[in-house]
Amino acid sequence: TGVAGPAGGTPEKPVGTVFFGVCGPRGVTTHKAAFRGTRDFIRLSSANRLFDLLGKIIE
């Protein structure tokens, strides 16, 4: 979940802030990331980061 923009950000959670959460047999992992760019760039970057995190979790 997060704020991809172009509007909707707050000082506490600016545009580009994304939170990830994964729950599985090994427990719960959470991650917060901050991206800059267009809405499409933030969404693509978020998906890429999620796949990187999932790859590390299932190794």
CB of 44 closer than 8 Å to CB of 11: no
| Token digits of residue 48 | 């890429």
CA distance 34 to 24: 24
Tokens 């995190």, residue located = 53
Average pLDDT, the chain: 91
The structural domains of the chain, with segments of one domain joined by +, span: 2-7+16-56
Tokens 């909707």, residue located = 8
For 6-34, the pLDDT digits (tens) are 888 888 889 999 999 988 888 899 999 99
For 36-54, the pLDDT digits (tens) are 999 999 999 999 999 998 9
